[in-house]
Structure 1
Amino acid sequence: MQTSRQNASSSSEGSQDQEPDMAKLMGFSGFGKKARTFDLDKMFEQTRRTAQEISKNKSKADSGDDDDSDAEGDDPRKRFVQKTANKSKQADSDGDDDDDDMIGPPLPPGFSRPSTSNKASTESDDDDDEEYEEDDEDNLPPEKKIPATHEIVLNHGNKSVSAVALDPSGSRLVTGGYDFDVRFWDFAAMDPSLNSFRSFQPFECHQIRTLQYSITGDRILMVAAKPQAKVVDRDGFEVMECVKGDQYIVDMAKTKGHTAMLNGGCWNPKVKEEFITCANDGTVRLWDVNQAWKQQQVIKFRGQGGQKTNPTCCVYSRDAKLIGAGCQDGSIQLWDMKRPLVRPTYQQKNAHGMGTDTSCITFSYDNLIFVTRGGDDTMKSWDLRNFKRPVNVVTGLESFYPVAECCFSPDDQMILAGQSVRREQEGKLMFYDRHTFKKITELECGQGSVVRCMWHPKLNQIIIGSGSGLAKVFYDPNRSHRGAKLCMVKKRRKRVEPDIVKSEHIVAPVMSRRGRHRNREEPQEIMAYKKQMKDRQDPVKSRKPDLPIKQGQGGRIAAGGSTLSRYVAINIALTKKVDPNISARDAILRHAKDAEENPLWIAPAYKHTQPNPIFHESDEEEEEEEGGPSWSKKAKLDSASKK
């Protein structure tokens, strides 16, 4: 045992002796953090003493000589626990001291290492600043949170903008209207001229009803006033088109698609390849992008009395567990996706006025309530936990469009709704409190009704579509991010004018040598001018159009008789000229002698069977039955009367 202790102590001493030598060899004044050393003799001695004390205390407890005070104050278990606690505290303090020691090579003179306490204090200060800013943002009144200090105007067309969609990242905007056009806007690529980079008509002569990006932003659902919906990619190229159903089948569940005009559509917020559409055939159909030839499921809607009713809008809940739809009979029906789609899970028959079109259903971000916009100029909020009556109601909110919309703010505390107005009146965007439905403020949006509205949570910007053919984006430079801010900070692009070579002659009355010398100093411009003039002479490079035709009518006649009209014109019309002074009767009778001598059509057919032609001769009885004398008799009477 002693030899082992001696070896251990000698090894520790040897390591201590070797440490400065190794430091000098490596070029360091020290190795940074010091290694902890253990004195084995003291440790063994301390354990021996504690064992002796424990044994003595046990013997005293067995003899019963200790008093109550000794039992309380000199309990060996308590003292052992106290000693171990003291050792742990001492070890922690040693560890703190070791942490305070330098780690790594020493710093050059004049530099100081930041302490952990300073770091902790700076981090706490940053956290306090962030919390302070958040508190300031939360303490602001609701009207101050609306990003509407600045706006940009996007000119879509002359008719109402009935659909607006913004991708999840907020980089591209898509607008559709009653003029059948769909326009693509890219905020990052636009300059202050605010021109769209693409425009096309996906449905030819059908009004656009709904545009929506998928949850990944790579596809767009397009719904128009026709039975077939389309899915296109980010650039507008078609991905799939839904099939059209058979309109002569009575049971709508037996058809493969819609048979009447679509009213709306919506992507699944959880499954990126699934979407729904509703139409005037009384059904809501679930589709898969990869299977365009048939829907996945069919939901048939029944109104009061079991009669068929048409859904005017459809939407998924935020968690994709419910499908909601508003019907033309004023009812609202919600279907649970986990149950058979035979009967609605929730139904409110008198949600809005009978015979009015419910234009919008939107769920809150916490998925506790949803808001409906009815055609009876009302907006109502509903709670599924008490679906018998609406929570709040707003009246007098006019709606002239079947696609009028309402939405929630990103903080889920306000509700936005556009107001419809008459022509040449100022449209307004209304802001209501979610809990009380009291009007917070209103935002003037210029001439025309506010049809569509949305508040993007990532950009913190508000986009509306108006009835005057304009789409507006409201933002705040201090609270909004990217989006409209990107295109407004750019410089307007200069218009590149095409190079036009004019045929005007410039006559200089005085040509000085100085001017000629200047031209010699700029040979590149002269060479470029000569090249342009040379290209102007080349009909291919200058794209010289075909010269007009001096002869002929109805377009350019091909040369050499390559067409039938050219052949007829050359061989018949031009070779055999007819004298215009001869009457038409004389021109025909001049061929009578040739026809008698050389018959071509009728006489050769009867040459063998009937060489002598026999003509029909009318009798007097037939003439009387026909109601008058024959032409020969008339001719005789005329000749007699003349004589």
Structure 2
Amino acid sequence: MEPVGAENDAEPVAGPDPELAATMGFSGFGKKARTFDFDAMFEQTRRTAVERSRKILEEREKKAAEKEKELESRCEGIDSSAASLRPVVKTSSKDSSGSESDDSSDEEPIGPTLPPQGSAEDSDDELIGPPLPPGYKGSDEEDDEDNILEEDEDPVKKIPDSHEITLHHGTKTVSALGLDPSGARLITGGYDYDVRFWDFAGMDASLQAFRSLQPCECHQIKSLQYSSTGDVILVVAGNSQAKVLDRDGFPVMECVKGDQYIVDMANTKGHTAMLNSGCWHPKIKEEFLTCSNDGTVRTWDVTNDKKHKGVFKPRSAQGKRVIPTSCTYSRDGKLIAAGCQDGSIQIWDRNMNVHTKFHCRQAHAPGSDTSCLTFSYDGTVLASRGGDDTLKTWDIRKFKTPLNSVVGLPSFFPMTDCCFSPDDKLLVTGTSVKKGVGNGKLLFFERETFKKVYEIDVTDASVVRCLWHPKLNQIMVGTGNGLAKVYYDPFKSQRGAKLCVVKTKRKERQAETLTQDYIITPHALPMFREPRQRSTRKQLEKDRLDPMKSHKPEPPVAGPGRGGRVGTHGGTLSSYIVKNIALDKTDDSNPREAILRHAKEAEESPYWVAPAYSKTQPKAVFAEVESDEDETDDKPEWKKRKI
């Protein structure tokens, strides 16, 4: 085909020899400018595409027919050699434009030709050995599926309790547990005012905490919880001011204390009485919740420590103030629930703090402290652990009667816990025991039927706190004798306690001693040459012969000092007074006894008074004592003693 407008082409430019230009690599220089008939090119491309599509459809129909034949042959038991691999059909097309034929020298392929490319179906159909029947699965896959089905049917098999480690927090009750969202760090708080930090990745088999502090001085720790991002920790203690710490235990924020003389607690900036519980908002990382003995539930913002964010005031049936003992957020953060001392459970909308959205007056026995409230992972069921030794579940959509209830679960602590399993099928709580009576247990109940399906005998003390981490699949338990136990399974659990039990105990670092290097200088002068090194025994023998190194210390000087050395008590007046008077152990409480102890010595060897009167008054003359009768008879009336 003649290119359009060929008559307007420019004259060819004179250039070098064609063979030399091809050898040097610039054979295309100096060619005539070309013009193209685009309509003809588009028509040719369309025809090529239609032809290619037709061939592809034929190939697919052919493959489908072959597959049907292959399935029929398998079902009839035909030998597998009949189902050989199909050849790959290669389709190619050439562009028949005359302009491309002119530039064949410019479009020569470089390198080896590409191998024929088949479809993804061809690569997947390559089989080694006889073909397998349709729907066949290996024995390992079948076993795995059977195990998964059994575990789904029986949630008890998902409980990770085959192994355990014990963390020694102290000697008093572990009243608070907290795990960060990733499960890398555990924090424990107790009645001994301490908060201890445990790092699973950094601990070895000795299981020692890497940090211990007392954030609230002399107040018992009530609750510890990491935020949803894990960067800060909420500390609720027995005082009226909650604290927020960072991951390393340094203070970030402290809530303000309210005015205790204000009657309406909504008009004061913070709590005025002891805190009972607290938790973080599940969605908003800066917001947290606290409840107190002042009868309020308050929300706070970490960025504002001057005033609370919102106030919720639970009321009794008579409209009087009620003390909330536990509080929590729903899983979506839209509801706030509080368990109160009158046995009621009151739930508010987070944005409506005046009237309750759900209310159950007689959820637990009046006067008992509801120690824990927790929502299920699906957000429809609320579990409550009461001080009346019960565990109940509630449907917030039908809040008048409990879904299930179990009694006879002793609880001696105001923070006894309950929690849901990660699959939402089990409910876990602990029991309390008196000292020396029995062992505290961790009980597992089915959520739907409340049938007790499993129990773990923990220790000879009460089980106060329990926590089942969904990522680690490990259970943390706080007890009444100062222990924090971690239950795990090597196959079902992830990281956590598995990281530290495999590490050997670190050896104590020996104190680094400075050693003097010995430099050998054979050709140095004697005055600059260092003495040759000796063994330790020979060096000691040499030092013993040295009068300076083996000099015996001089004994202390007895009596007055001599030779420039101070005596035992010194030679000054003050040291003499200390030695003879101040250190005198005689008892001078009775002055008459103190004087009379010198009477015998003065009579036998007089020194002061008697020698002075030996010449002038050798015989002492004393006044004669007359009887009382003579006085009354001889003396005049005015001299008589008046009785």
Please report the TM-score for the alignment, with normalisation by the length of structure 2. Answer: 0.63
Q: Which amino acid aligns with 2:396?
A: L
Contact 1:453-1:465 within 8 A present in 2 as well: yes
Q: Residue by residue, what CA displacement relative to the aligned partner does 1:366-398 show, whole Å, maximum 9, x if unpaired? A: 111110111111111111221121111111111
**Correspondent of 1:486 among 496, 499, 521:** 499
Q: Structure 2: give runs of 5+ residues left out of the alignment.
A: 7-21, 26-39, 64-86, 93-108, 127-134, 515-529, 544-555, 559-570, 583-587, 592-636
SS at the partner of 2:384?
Answer: strand
State the partner residue of 2:227. Answer: 214
1:559-612 CA distance string (max 9 Å, x none): xxxxxxxxxxx99978999x989x9x9xxxxxxxxxxxxxxxxxxxxxxxxxxx
Offset at 1:39? 11
Q: Which residue of 2 aligns with 1:600?
A: none
1:286 maps to which residue? Answer: 299
Deviation at 1:409, TM superposition (A): 0.6
Aligned to 2:391: 379
On the 8 A contact 2:90/2:116 being kept in 1, the answer is: no
Give the whole-Å Cα distance in 1 for the aligned partners of 2:639 and 2:577: 41
- 1:237 counterpart residue number: 250
Number of the residue aligned with 2:18: none
The alignment status of 1:475 with 2:488, answered yes or no, reads: yes
Q: Match for 1:116: what amino acid?
A: A
Residue number among 406, 414, 427 corresponding to 1:402 in the alignment: 414
Structure 2 counterpart of 1:462, which letter? I
Distance (whole Å) between structure 1 residues aligned to residue 368 and residue 163 of structure 2: 36
CA distance in 1, matches of 2:150, 2:402: 30
Matched, 1:422 2:426: no
Q: In structure 2, do the counterparts of structure 1 residues 249 and 395 end up closer, same or farther at CA, with 3 Å as the change threshold?
A: same
1:116 to 117, 120, 133: 120
Structure 1 residues 320 and 102: alpha-carbon distance in aligned structure 2, compared to 1, 3 A threshold: farther
Matches within 5 A, 1:349-364: 349-364=361-376
Which residue is equivalent to 1:226? 239
Quote the Cα distance in structure 2 between the aligned partners of 1:524 and 1:337: 82
Indicate the residue corresponding to 1:195 in structure 2. 208
| 2:271 is the counterpart of 1:258 | yes
1:269 and 1:318 in contact (8 A); partners too: yes
Which AA in structure 2 matches 1:325? A
What do the CA deviations read for 1:179-204 (whole angstroms, capped 9, x no partner)? 11111101011110000011111112
Q: CA deviation at 1:113?
A: 9.2
CA distance in 2, matches of 1:93, 1:206: 84
Question: Which residue number corresponds to residue 392 of structure 1?
Answer: 404
Give distance in 2, aligned partners of 1:524 and 1:236.
53
User: Which amino acid is 1:220 matched to?
Assistant: I
Aligned partners of 1:198 and 1:449: how far apart in 2?
A: 26
Aligned pairs (5 A) from 1:69-88: none
In structure 2, relative to structure 1, the CA distance for the partners of 1:39 and 1:236 (3 Å cut) is: closer
Q: 1:310 to 1:39 in 2, by over 3 A?
A: closer
Is the Cα contact below 8 Å between 2:88 and 2:118 reproduced in 1? no
Distance 1:197 1:42 in 2: 74
Q: 1:197 to 1:299 in 2, by over 3 A?
A: same
Q: Is the 8 A contact 1:262 1:278 kept in 2?
A: yes
Residues 1:222 and 1:107: Cα distance change in structure 2 (over 3 Å): farther
Mapped pair 1:446 → 2:459: yes
* Letter of the 1:482 counterpart: R
Structure 1 residues 575, 380: closer, same or farther in 2, change over 3 A? closer
Amino acid at match of 2:375: F
Tell me how far apart the structure 1 counterparts of residues 137 and 470 of structure 2 sit (CA, whole Å). Answer: 25
**What is the one-letter code of the residue matched to 2:369?**
D
- SS of 1:270's equivalent in the other structure is coil
Cα RMSD, aligned residues only: 4.7
**Post-superposition CA distance 1:3-22 (Å, at most 9, x none):** 579x9xxxxxxxxxxxxxx9
Percent identity between the two aligned chains: 51
2:181 to 159, 164, 168: 168
Asked if structure 1 preserves the Cα contact closer than 8 Å seen for 2:90 and 2:117, the reply is: no
Contact 1:191 1:491 in 2 (8 A): yes
Secondary structure of the residue aligned to 1:306 is coil
Cα deviation for residue 105 of structure 1 reads: 9.6
* Residues 179 and 129 (structure 1), Cα distance of their counterparts in 2 relative to 1, 3 Å cut: same
Tell me the equivalent position of 1:50: none
Tell me, in whole angstroms, the C-alpha distance in 1 between the residues paired with 2:45 and 2:267. Answer: 92
Unaligned runs of 5+ in 1: 8-21, 26-36, 47-83, 502-519, 534-547, 551-569, 586-636
1:331 corresponds in structure 2 to 344
* Residue of structure 2 in register with 1:136 after alignment: 147
Is contact 2:326-2:370 (8 Å) kept?
A: yes
Partner of 1:367: 379
Aligned-pair distance for 1:496?
A: 3.0
What residue number does 1:541 align with? none
Following superposition of structure 1 onto structure 2, how do residues 265-276 of structure 1 map, counting pairs within 5 Å? 265-276=278-289
Aligned residues: 465
Aligned to 1:64: none
Aligned counterparts of 1:472 and 1:353: Cα–Cα separation in 2 = 31
Seen in structure 2, the aligned counterparts of structure 1 residues 571 and 171 have a Cα distance that, compared at 3 Å, is same
Deviation at 1:43, TM superposition (A): 7.7
SS of aligned partner of 1:175: strand
Q: Given residue 147 of structure 2, which amino acid in structure 1 is its aligned partner?
A: D
The one-letter code of the counterpart of 1:406 is: C
- Give 1:411's aligned residue: 423
2:349 is the alignment partner of 1:345: no
* Corresponding residue of 1:621: none
Taking structure 1 as the reference length, the TM-score comes to 0.63
Deviation at 1:134, TM superposition (A): 6.3
Q: Name the residue aligned to 1:560.
A: none
Q: Distance in 1 between matches of 2:297 and 2:483?
A: 31
Q: Which of the pair is proportionally richer in helix?
A: 1
Cα deviations by residue, 1:315-360 (Å, 9 ceiling, x for unpaired): 0001000000000000000000233x10111100000001100000
Indicate yes or no: 2:204 matched with 1:186.
Answer: no
Equivalent-residue separation in structure 1 for 2:222 and 2:282 (angstroms):
20
Label 1:245 to 1:39 Cα distance change in 2 as closer, same or farther (>3 A).
closer
Q: Deviations over 1:189-241 (max 9, x none)?
A: 11100000111111121111000000111100000111011110111111111
2:306 and 2:498 map into 1 onto residues whose CA distance is 43
- Residues 4, 216 of structure 1: alpha-carbon distance in 2 compared, 3 angstrom cutoff: same
1: distance between equivalents of 2:379 and 2:442? 24
Partner of 2:315: 302
CA shift at 1:132, angstroms?
A: 7.6
* Partners of 1:142 and 1:440 within 8 A in 2: no
Determine if the alignment matches structure 1 residue 432 to structure 2 residue 436: no
CA distance in 2, matches of 1:228, 1:393: 35
- Cα distance in structure 2, aligned partners of 1:206 and 1:102: 83
Cα separation, partners in 2 of 1:409 and 1:576, compared to 1, 3 Å:
closer
Letter aligned with residue 409 of structure 2: L
Distance 1:290 1:102, change over 3 A: farther
Pick closer, same or farther for the CA change 1:128–1:251 going to 2, 3 Å.
Answer: farther
